[in-house]
Chains A and B, each alone.
Chain A
Amino acid sequence: MQMKSARIGDSAPRVEDEPLLRGRGVFFDDLDPGPGTLHVAFVRSPHAHARVLSVNTAAAMTLEGVVAAYSAADFAGEIKPIAADFAAPGFKVTQRPVLAVERVRFVGDTLAMVVAKDPYVALDAAELVECDLEPLPAVVDAAKSDQVVFEARFESEGFESVHRKSEMLLRESFSAARMAAVPIEPRGCAARFDAGKLTMWSSTQVPHMVMTCLAEHLGLAEADIRVIVPEVGGGFGMKAAVYPEELLVAAAARRLGAPVKWTQDRFDDFLTGTQAREHTYDVEAGFTREGVLTSLSADITVNVGAYASLPFGSSLEANGAPRNMPGAYRLRNFRYRTRGVQTNTCPTGAYRGVAGPLAFFAMEGVLDRIARKLGLDAAEVRRRNLVTEFPYRNVLGLDYAEGCFLPALERALELAGYAGLRKRQKEHDGKDGRAYGIGVVVATEQTGMGSARYKARGLHRVPGFEGATVKLETDGSASAFISQAAAGQGHATTFAQIVSDSLGIPLAQVRVVEGDTGRTPFGTGTFASRGIVIAGGAVAAASESVRRQAAEVAAGRLECGAGDVAFRDGYAEVVGVPAMKVSLRDIAAQSGGIAATERHDTPGATIASMAHVASVVVDKRTGCVQVERYVVVHDCGRMVNPMIVDGQIQGAVVQGLGEVLMEALAYDEQGQPTATSLMDYQLPRCADAMPIVIEARHSAEGAAIFKGVGESGIMAAVPAIANAVGDALARDGVSVTSLPLTAKAIHGLLWNRSG
């Protein structure tokens, strides 16, 4: 066994990989919540908008094996309707009953719940539930909706006079499609009551918020609820929501006195998993003849779907979009209006990058247009606008303690061979029907938001802090109990590395316990690039506390001062006299184990940053795009495990590729989703992925502190790839303003231009 302790900064192999690759991972559907488990199927609305005249479960109840069938009336007064938004300026609070009462408002809204002895019978019975629905006109397009549920405005001091006096102006509208997160494992939840205490198993990123929301909506005490998370096959933000199904499954288990389990399938995932994006930006930019952006006005609309989702509500994307826009650039004059509107489509929620990818699609689209209007190089326009002096407070009041935006850009250009790419592009005659394009992007990611930011956003169900208990066990091993729930991020390795580094315990002897509200301190969850920043901070603080206590014990044994004790490879030793040592096992046994619990929070957000360069070839005959070169230079702060960081970037960049070139979940005019399977919804696959050159480059601050990295890849990849395609097509007079850029869409842009 490897007995050396790991350090922060090691690319240690992921300890979670071996069991997962051997098929020993226990995912949601592998769980058995107990003898007599009953299975659930939900009856979903086939209409986007309809009046519910009646829901009759009598026929379903006649099927052998059916135990119960519930419609709204069965749980009246027992499950509080969901009101995800709180009354605050700019918000219109709406309610969602967990089972539809008078109306269904999207295809997939829940009409009834069937509980049976096996999942096949449950589905058979769901087909027998008779719903009398009177269809009503559906509103699908955000531009046609008058249901504004969130609105915010901002205008920097003196904006109008600066904007009016701009040397040059440009106007553009950008838009992007509705997307689905599509984790390979859909959702699932199971519930069991034992003597009034609820155990819920859920495939979620936010077990503590599932616990608090179950308590709030079912009238239970939080202390009587335990939420357990098995291995999670991807979440991407979609599992950072608390869903009606979790409330219903728990209510059914309470009613029936038996364990109740619901495993979602892909079809249902496309209907009811929170979706994302679908923004429009009407922007007007003022700039100088030298290419300096002097003012920006943006009017933003986000389609939030039929209901506000727990816990982020209807402001998540609409609020985030303008707040991301200034990014790495020196924008001093900014005005925006941003709105979230309801439509008869699936509710939206978090998806990797949240508003960032499209905010930067608009912002970087503006900078590319400035370059084209002035005949300037796209990279040069970035150089002239980047923030280069720190500390910097941006126009919205966000503080950047330190950054390396310009050096990162120059390094990315160098790695990409930018000058050569431009030369080839210029010299290419186009006779082969191909066009070359380059996208250059510099952006920021606001990572690790703490409690203050969530409170300021009116998100009172999101605690914002994280907790960790680190325990030196009596056998000399260590355990870390952390308020997080991993869905592929490699927490069992990275958090263990922090403990190992601090206590000098070999990695194999550090166990990480997460995803269990009964065993871990209270916290928030795994989303918004916050794990390493906030939970990592809690783990580091708790480890240091244990280390101090252990040093006291060791000092007594070694007859030295506690300050002279160093921990390494399972031993405490006297600094400079390594022969004088005592094993951690002896220290732990002598003291009966040493534990410490710490909570970590951040006052604002921690600014990570990235420069991406994408080089593409577009076959103009077919519209097919090939990304031939991709470079990322990023500052994600101090890296605990650089290999895992690279993995985060690779995965996120490929997700960005999908967002730009493939993914769209369209609704027809009646509100029917046009993609309800992976035959219709195109995701990037391994064969679509390109080699990605990744290099970390730190500012002085970045070398010292943890920053998040989960989303920077997609935030910059979307504008970089989109701008590269736009650059390739610009010679043909085509303007790229809308995503996705499917091969067919690109061909259409070229055809419409010439036809």
Chain B
Amino acid sequence: MKPAPFSYFRARSASEAVALLAAAGEDARFLAGGQSLVPMMNFRIARPAALVDLNGCADLSYVILEKNRIRIGAMTRQLVAENDPLVRGHCPLLAQALAHAGPATVRNRATVGGSLANGYPLAQLPCVAVCLDAEMVLEGPQGVRTVPASRFFVSAMVTDIRPGELLREAVFPASGPRARQAFRESGNHAGGAAQAVVCVSKDADLRIAAAGLQDLPVRIPADFKAGGSYNEALVAALLEDALRACR
């Protein structure tokens, strides 16, 4: 439970972070809240040659409501986002999902961007992002580009982030006044890892996403029918409960 040797750089801004990563070489990685990467390093499963620490980047921590969209800076702590009045008022699904993202001690440190960039297939935030068609804003040496969630998550722990790029912001659509949203997850115990996740957003249209069916969260129809697998049965049960909550 001690990491292999690595170099450490502390960035003061997003652009400095991108520059530091480029200078640090191929095996360098960004450090956000450290709630996934640091344990992996302690297990010596992850062995980055260098870390570029984003925790000093004040320009990566914000929640802004702008043109019916909620923009969340990548370094916004999960507990901060969960309790942000803009998030609670305009993206209640995200607030509900964040409440399930781990114990409070973890959410105090963990970040919105960290969870999305990590791409864990059963994590709560990627499922919300896929459900709501969120957009990821990436900044690299070649400039800034925007990727929709449907293309951002590629497979388990693999995203569309290219070498050298920083996920600097996630953009979620603000819900309408009559929107109903519900988050449900099932695991073997409260507060632990989820076995399956379902997100439902009923606004101008009905959007549903599920995690636990494939190695990334996917959209599913409202009449989703379970086949033989346990996870399909779980998703069907969660969907039934979530749809009832959105009525």
Q: A661: CB under 8 A from chain B?
A: yes
A620 to chain B: closest residue by CB? B237
In the complex, the answer to whether A742 meets B191 with C-beta atoms within 8 Å is no
Bound Cα distance A622, B189 (Å): 12
CB distance from A755 to the nearest CB of B (A): 7
B43 to chain A: closest residue by CB? A267
Q: B236: CB under 8 A from chain A?
A: yes
Of B228, B230, B240, the most chain A CB neighbours within 10 A belong to B230
Q: What A residues does B39 contact at CB under 8 A?
A: 677, 679
Q: A154: CB under 8 A from chain B?
A: no
Q: B64: CB under 8 A from chain A?
A: no
- Known A-B contacts A267-B43, A621-B233; A124 and B186 likewise in contact (beta carbons under 8 Å): no
The contact string, 1 if C-beta is below 8 Å from chain A, for chain B 216-233, is: 000000000000101001
Q: What A residues does B193 contact at CB under 8 A?
A: 679
The stretch from A455-463, A510-518, A680-688, A719-727 touching chain B is A680-688
Q: A662: CB under 8 A from chain B?
A: yes
In the complex, the answer to whether A688 meets B190 with C-beta atoms within 8 Å is yes
Bound Cα distance A619, B188 (Å): 12
Bound Cα distance A682, B187 (Å): 10
A748 to chain B: closest residue by CB? B230
In the complex, the answer to whether B2 meets A120 with C-beta atoms within 8 Å is yes
In the complex, the answer to whether A684 meets B189 with C-beta atoms within 8 Å is yes
In the complex, the answer to whether B189 meets A747 with C-beta atoms within 8 Å is no
Chain A interface: which size bin?
20 to 34
- Known A-B contacts A120-B2, A619-B237; A687 and B43 likewise in contact (beta carbons under 8 Å): no
Q: A12: CB under 8 A from chain B?
A: no
Q: What A residues does B42 contact at CB under 8 A?
A: 265
Q: B1: CB under 8 A from chain A?
A: yes
Contact for B192 among A123, A622, A685, A755, CB less than 8 A: A685
CB distance from B229 to the nearest CB of A (A): 10
Q: B4: CB under 8 A from chain A?
A: yes
Q: A744: CB under 8 A from chain B?
A: yes
In the complex, the answer to whether A688 meets B189 with C-beta atoms within 8 Å is yes
The contact string, 1 if C-beta is below 8 Å from chain A, for chain B 186-214, is: 11111111010000000000000000000
Bound Cα distance A687, B1 (Å): 27
Q: Which residues 39-94 of B sit at the A interface, judged by CB distance below 8 A? A: 39, 42-44
In the complex, the answer to whether B2 meets A123 with C-beta atoms within 8 Å is yes
- Known A-B contacts A622-B186, A624-B186; A265 and B233 likewise in contact (beta carbons under 8 Å): no
Q: What B residues does A662 contact at CB under 8 A?
A: 188-189
Contact for A685 among B4, B5, B191, B228, CB less than 8 A: B191
The contact string, 1 if C-beta is below 8 Å from chain B, for chain A 713-755, is: 0000000000000000000000000000011100110010001
Of A621, A622, A747, the most chain B CB neighbours within 10 A belong to A622
Q: What B residues does A685 contact at CB under 8 A?
A: 103, 189-192
Q: B234: CB under 8 A from chain A?
A: yes
In the complex, the answer to whether B1 meets A747 with C-beta atoms within 8 Å is no
Q: A384: CB under 8 A from chain B?
A: no
In the complex, the answer to whether B233 meets A747 with C-beta atoms within 8 Å is yes
Q: Which residues 1-19 of B sit at the A interface, judged by CB distance below 8 A? A: 1-5
CB distance from B124 to the nearest CB of A (A): 16
- Known A-B contacts A621-B233, A622-B234; A267 and B188 likewise in contact (beta carbons under 8 Å): no
In the complex, the answer to whether B191 meets A687 with C-beta atoms within 8 Å is yes
Q: What A residues does B1 contact at CB under 8 A?
A: 265-267
Q: What B residues does A267 contact at CB under 8 A?
A: 1, 43
Bound Cα distance A619, B240 (Å): 13
Q: A556: CB under 8 A from chain B?
A: no
Q: What A residues does B3 contact at CB under 8 A?
A: 120
In the complex, the answer to whether B188 meets A743 with C-beta atoms within 8 Å is yes
In the complex, the answer to whether A743 meets B192 with C-beta atoms within 8 Å is no
Q: What A residues does B236 contact at CB under 8 A?
A: 621
- Known A-B contacts A123-B2, A619-B237; A661 and B230 likewise in contact (beta carbons under 8 Å): no
A677 to chain B: closest residue by CB? B43
In the complex, the answer to whether B190 meets A622 with C-beta atoms within 8 Å is no
The contact string, 1 if C-beta is below 8 Å from chain B, for chain A 255-275, is: 000000000011100000000
Q: A135: CB under 8 A from chain B?
A: no
In the complex, the answer to whether B189 meets A682 with C-beta atoms within 8 Å is yes
Bound Cα distance A114, B182 (Å): 53
A626 to chain B: closest residue by CB? B190
Q: What A residues does B191 contact at CB under 8 A?
A: 685, 687-688
Bound Cα distance A751, B231 (Å): 13
Q: What B residues does A621 contact at CB under 8 A?
A: 233, 236-237, 240
Bound Cα distance A622, B193 (Å): 15
Q: A89: CB under 8 A from chain B?
A: no
Q: A397: CB under 8 A from chain B?
A: no
Contact for B188 among A119, A120, A682, CB less than 8 A: A682
Bound Cα distance A755, B230 (Å): 13
A684 to chain B: closest residue by CB? B189
Bound Cα distance A238, B232 (Å): 39
Q: What B residues does A119 contact at CB under 8 A?
A: 2
Q: A433: CB under 8 A from chain B?
A: yes
- Known A-B contacts A267-B43, A747-B233; A755 and B228 likewise in contact (beta carbons under 8 Å): yes
Q: What B residues does A687 contact at CB under 8 A?
A: 189-191
Bound Cα distance A622, B226 (Å): 12
The contact string, 1 if C-beta is below 8 Å from chain B, for chain A 171-203, is: 000000000000000000000000000000000
CB distance from A674 to the nearest CB of B (A): 15
Contact for A744 among B44, B103, B230, CB less than 8 A: B230
Bound Cα distance A127, B43 (Å): 13
CB distance from B203 to the nearest CB of A (A): 27
Q: Which residues 675-703 of A sit at the B interface, judged by CB distance below 8 A? A: 677, 679, 682, 684-685, 687-688
Q: Which residues 113-127 of A sit at the B interface, judged by CB distance below 8 A? A: 119-120, 123-124, 127
Q: Which residues 145-192 of B sit at the A interface, judged by CB distance below 8 A? A: 186-192
Bound Cα distance A621, B238 (Å): 9
Q: What A residues does B240 contact at CB under 8 A?
A: 621
The contact string, 1 if C-beta is below 8 Å from chain A, for chain B 107-133, is: 000000000000000000000000000
Q: What A residues does B43 contact at CB under 8 A?
A: 267, 677
B5 to chain A: closest residue by CB? A124
A123 to chain B: closest residue by CB? B2
In the complex, the answer to whether B188 meets A744 with C-beta atoms within 8 Å is yes
A39 to chain B: closest residue by CB? B2
CB distance from A273 to the nearest CB of B (A): 14
Bound Cα distance A484, B230 (Å): 48
Bound Cα distance A499, B102 (Å): 45
Q: What B residues does A623 contact at CB under 8 A?
A: 230
Q: What A residues does B2 contact at CB under 8 A?
A: 119-120, 123, 265
A743 to chain B: closest residue by CB? B188
Bound Cα distance A267, B42 (Å): 10
Q: What A residues does B186 contact at CB under 8 A?
A: 622, 624, 743
Bound Cα distance A239, B43 (Å): 24
In the complex, the answer to whether B237 meets A682 with C-beta atoms within 8 Å is no
Bound Cα distance A266, B43 (Å): 10
- Known A-B contacts A267-B1, A688-B190; A622 and B233 likewise in contact (beta carbons under 8 Å): yes
Bound Cα distance A687, B187 (Å): 13
In the complex, the answer to whether A742 meets B228 with C-beta atoms within 8 Å is no
CB distance from A752 to the nearest CB of B (A): 11
Bound Cα distance A616, B191 (Å): 20
Bound Cα distance A267, B2 (Å): 11
CB distance from B245 to the nearest CB of A (A): 15
CB distance from B74 to the nearest CB of A (A): 24
B231 to chain A: closest residue by CB? A744
A120 to chain B: closest residue by CB? B2
B1 to chain A: closest residue by CB? A265
Q: What B residues does A751 contact at CB under 8 A?
A: 228, 230, 233
Chosen A-B contacts, 6 in total, with CB atoms closer than 8 Å, are: A621-B236, A622-B237, A624-B186, A677-B43, A679-B193, A755-B228
Q: Which residues of B contact A (CB under 8 A)?
A: 1-5, 39, 42-44, 103, 186-193, 195, 228, 230, 233-234, 236-238, 240
The 8 A-B pairs of least Cβ separation, nearest first, read A265-B1, A687-B190, A621-B237, A687-B191, A688-B189, A120-B2, A622-B237, A123-B2
Q: A621-B240, A624-B186, A685-B191 are in contact. List 9 more A-B contacts (CB 8 A).
A: A119-B2, A622-B234, A623-B230, A662-B188, A677-B39, A682-B192, A684-B189, A685-B192, A747-B230
